[in-house]
Amino acid sequence: MNLVLARPALFGLAPVAVLAIRLSVVGLLLIVAGAYGIDWLSFAALGQSPFQLPEDTWTIFGGVVAAMLLLEHCVIHLLLVCLPRALRRERIHLPDALAPKALLMSALVRLATYVAFGVGFMLLGIGTALAVPLALAPFYAADKGLDAYDAVKCSTAVVLRHFGTVLLFEFISLGLLLCGLLVCGVGLIPAYILVTASRAALYEQLTSTATAR
């Protein structure tokens, strides 16, 4: 059953759920930091905690955060599987889509992608261009079921043939997300949904073009 085709509302709700989970994780981390006496505005320790919680609370916090991050990855992985197949009018088998190996491979590729873009951004943005070849790797891991190495290899091969297009897309996506964030954060939801759908369409278009060749 294709979740996106059968229930289109899930397409909009899933990205919203991802944003909600991320905001919740940030909120929990702020609470933990406050309990340890860390001032996030000055990035300094206050020397004393403004409030105290039971010692076991930190274990609970850690478990809750880990569970939320796992849920977030499952939702994103499902989007990476469903969106391209919805464009191809294919059906999916949910147990296969959420197979442990597929989840692990897409998690590894997503982590590598985040690290690459993060490091590139810290290098005054210059290194971001070097991370662009990894942009489609999560789709190859989730949609095609490839191992992490093969997913990165396929993504690099396709992106390098259309480097200008993908680089422009990434800059436009970043601009949309920043604009959404500036509008009191409310615009981040439609911006994130638009970027997610557009990236899936770009992946499907470039992949089908590469296959046709």
**Mean pLDDT, to the nearest integer, of 172-181?**
83
pLDDT of residue 60: 75
The average confidence (pLDDT) of the chain is 77
Ordered by start, the domain boundaries in the chain are 3-212
The pair of structure tokens assigned to 189 is: 């939801």
User: What is residue 58's predicted lDDT score, i.e. its pLDDT?
Assistant: 66
CA 2, CA 88: separation in Å to the nearest integer?
11
- Spatial contact of 39 and 46, defined as CB atoms under 8 Å apart: yes
Percentage of the chain surpassing pLDDT 90? 12
Cα 169 to Cα 115: distance, rounded to the nearest angstrom: 19
88-110 pLDDT, tens digit per residue, is 877 777 777 788 888 899 999 98
Mean local confidence (pLDDT), 10-24? 75
Q: How many CB atoms lie within 10 A of CB 122?
A: 11
- Give CA–CA dist 197/149, Å, rounded: 25
**Percent of the chain surpassing pLDDT 70:** 75
Looking at residue 177, its pLDDT comes to 82
What pLDDT band is residue 5 in, cutting at 50, 70 and 90?
Answer: very low
Distance CA 51, CA 28 (A): 15
Tokens of 67: 């569970």
Mean pLDDT of 1-30: 67
The pLDDT tens digits of the residues spanning 75-91 come to: 888 888 888 887 787 77
Average pLDDT over residues 20-49: 66
- pLDDT score at 88: 80
Task: Reply yes or no on whether the pLDDT at 2 is more than 60.
Answer: no
Indicate the helix (H) or strand (E) that contains 38.
strand 38-39
Task: Compute the average pLDDT of residues 131-160.
Answer: 90
Give, in order, the Cα–Cα distances in Å from 73 to each of 78, 141, 157, 201: 8, 13, 25, 20
Q: Under a CB-based contact definition with an 8 Å cutoff, are residues 34 and 51 in contact? A: yes
Residue with tokens 């990476």: 80
Other Cβ atoms less than 10 A from the Cβ of 76: the count is: 21
With b for 16 or more beta-carbon neighbours within 10 A and e for fewer, the 158-194 pattern comes to bbeebeeebbebbeebeebbeebeeeeeebbeebbbe
